[in-house]
Chains A and B, each alone.
Chain A
Amino acid sequence: MKALERAAATAKANALVLPAAIIVALVTQVPLIVTLVLSVVKWIVVRPDLGINFVGLSNYIQIFTTPEFYSIVLNTILLTLVSIACCTILGIAFAHMLNRRFPGVNLARTIMIAPFFVMDAVAGIIWKTLMLHPSFGINGLIASWLGIAPTDFLGKHSLLTIILLVVWQWTPFFVLILLAGFESISEELIDSAKVDGANAFRTLFQIKIPAIAAHIEVAIMLGLIFILKTFGLIYVTTAGGPGISSTNLPYIVYRTGFYRWDVGRAAAMAVTTVILTLVAITALFGFVRRKTNEVES
């Protein structure tokens, strides 16, 4: 009887989970498996006359023997790592600055976190036109004040520009999380550091930052997942160019899949992206864990 009741309860619990699980599986797991299958076929969607042919690993061999693909992988890694490093440093700095009482602190915090809620399309547009335009943007204005020629950010430093925009959008997210961390540190901990004669600098690095390690970890994790998929910013600002100088993996998958309609090769690139994402997350998670242990011991 007991076993029967338990089975019934489990069935009920399963029934509650099932609808959500089916939808999530339908739009994530099933397509992922199809992507794996597509990555071993040759299929140009706009050329139905060529048909769909199994080609083994030739899509993978093709992309890994193209030098450009390595630059794109490198772009993706650079974009992600540099952005996350900047976001972490700026995030800690801003969160620490804003974790005190001064006139208008609430307003200062409110405007500081705003860029995070601005959509990629708009962030890209206002930076491309109002801010960085060499002639009519703030960029041109500052250059004329300084009496120098304006920098052509999108043309000459395209990847750097994308990094700048990502940092602008994601630093507020880091500030949000890390500020919550700083606020959760107990007064006693800070007081005891002061009693021990630690100065503000040492208190920050040896007491406060280790105390918010969990918060830093969450911010970096989520930041990594989202920054790896950067697409909209590139789409509206540089369109991956000039050349492939600001193309990352999501953007090249889009170009290959939806411009050349070479779905097999695009799928192989997508699979590579998944593997890279998993490696990055595992490596970073291990790194952060090790750092945390070092600080604690």
Chain B
Amino acid sequence: MIFNVRFRRRALGKLGIVGIWALCLAFFFPILYMVLTSFKHETEAVPPQLFFSPTLENYRTVLGSGILPHILNSMLITVVTMLFCVLLGVPTAYSIVFGKLKKPDSVFFWFLSTTLLPPVSVIIPVFLLFKFMHLLDNRWGMVLIYTGANIPIAVWMIRSFLKDIPRELLEAADIDGATRVRSFFKLILPLARTGIISTALLVFIFVWNEFFFAVNLTYINASTIPVYMASYMTQEGLFWAKLSAISTLTVLPPLVLGWVSHKTLVRGLMMGAVKG
């Protein structure tokens, strides 16, 4: 993680540093404690103990307990949705920024306005439609709903990264006789690559963590990890060490991706908002 930290003239007292660290650690504590508990024996997990003999037993049990199909579901649905969002979001954003749409701003705001809709306002018709089309508890149904729900945020982010590219570059390429398709692949895409990748990671995080649609539209075959977690909690909620192990496994992918991409994500969000 690379942060740009500026020097402050006034040095911070030792006490101040300890204070800031203590506050950050307090905020992080639930996650830390979850990871620690996942390496404990069940008998050491309850009540809380500081010292314990670490074991991988919980991970072994949990991975053998039927979570694998749900990890697979999550992986498949998340990755396919991510690809669709990029494949559909990039052309849309390109068209809004560089294309000759009649009203590019209205198109953009239409996409943006759909993110304001609470999911509860669409869930019942979507449920009935899925039931009718036999898409309930179906991975492709989930891909469809997640793609539709995340394209707007992808368009928002990618648009702000594309707006950052000077128009003159594209015009110069036009004069050199390059086709728009060629300039897109040779010029635009390399310049916006980091932004597009971060957008894809954001979609990954959102879809991986999504709960509402997953719990209402899947049962057994297509259910993702969050749904499995909720049912695991009701069934095996007494085994805290195993619960912690399974939780640690499921939060790891979005956590790592979040740590890798957050700088670019914030830049994308802010540019989209400030430049309008």
Query: Which A residues are closer than 8 A to B by beta carbons?
Result: 6, 9-10, 12-14, 16-17, 19-21, 23-24, 26-32, 34-35, 38, 94, 97-106, 108-123, 125-131, 135-138, 140-141, 168, 171-172, 176-177, 180-181, 183, 187, 214-215, 217-218, 221-222, 225, 228-229, 231-232, 235-236, 249-250, 253-254, 257-258, 263, 266-267, 269-271, 273-274, 277-278, 281
Instruction: Please tell me the size bucket of the interface on B.
Output: 35 or more
Would you call B107 an interface residue if the criterion is a C-beta within 8 Å of the partner chain's C-beta atoms?
yes
Q: Across the interface, do B121 and A27 meet the contact criterion of CB distance under 8 Å? A: no
Contacts A108-B24, A168-B30; A129 near B240 (Cβ below 8 A): yes
In the complex formed, the residue of B with least CB distance to A38 is B124
Would you call B51 an interface residue if the criterion is a C-beta within 8 Å of the partner chain's C-beta atoms?
no
| B121 CB contact (under 8 Å) in A35, A105, A127, A183 | A35
User: Main SS of the interface on chain A?
Assistant: helix
Contacts A24-B148, A141-B48; A266 near B3 (Cβ below 8 A): no
Question: What is the CA–CA distance of A271 and B116 in the complex, to the nearest angstrom?
Answer: 13
Q: Across the interface, do B125 and A101 meet the contact criterion of CB distance under 8 Å? A: no
Q: A116 → chain B, closest Cβ, in Å?
A: 7
Q: Across the interface, do A27 and B148 meet the contact criterion of CB distance under 8 Å? A: yes
| B100 CB contact (under 8 Å) in A6, A31, A221 | A6
Q: Across the interface, do A120 and B148 meet the contact criterion of CB distance under 8 Å? A: no
Q: B133 → chain A, closest Cβ, in Å?
A: 12
Contacts of B183 in A (CB 8 A): none
Q: B132 → chain A, closest Cβ, in Å?
A: 12
With A28-B117, A235-B215 given, can you name 12 additional A-B contacts, CB distance below 8 Å? A16-B99, A23-B151, A34-B125, A101-B6, A102-B16, A125-B233, A130-B244, A176-B262, A221-B273, A273-B120, A274-B121, A277-B118
Would you call B147 an interface residue if the criterion is a C-beta within 8 Å of the partner chain's C-beta atoms?
yes
Q: B228 → chain A, closest Cβ, in Å?
A: 9
- 9 A-B residue pairs with Cβ-Cβ distance under 8 Å, sorted by A, are A17-B91, A26-B148, A94-B23, A97-B20, A99-B6, A108-B24, A109-B1, A250-B119, A277-B118
Within 8 A of A (CB), among B1-43: 1-8, 12, 16-17, 20-21, 23-25, 27-28, 30-31, 33-34, 37
Q: Across the interface, do A176 and B266 meet the contact criterion of CB distance under 8 Å? A: yes
Q: Across the interface, do A28 and B122 meet the contact criterion of CB distance under 8 Å? A: yes
Q: B45 → chain A, closest Cβ, in Å?
A: 8
In the complex formed, the residue of B with least CB distance to A120 is B211
Q: Across the interface, do A9 and B99 meet the contact criterion of CB distance under 8 Å? A: yes
Contacts of B92 in A (CB 8 A): 16-17, 20-21
Contacts of A19 in B (CB 8 A): 88, 91
Would you call B175 an interface residue if the criterion is a C-beta within 8 Å of the partner chain's C-beta atoms?
no
Contacts of B267 in A (CB 8 A): 180
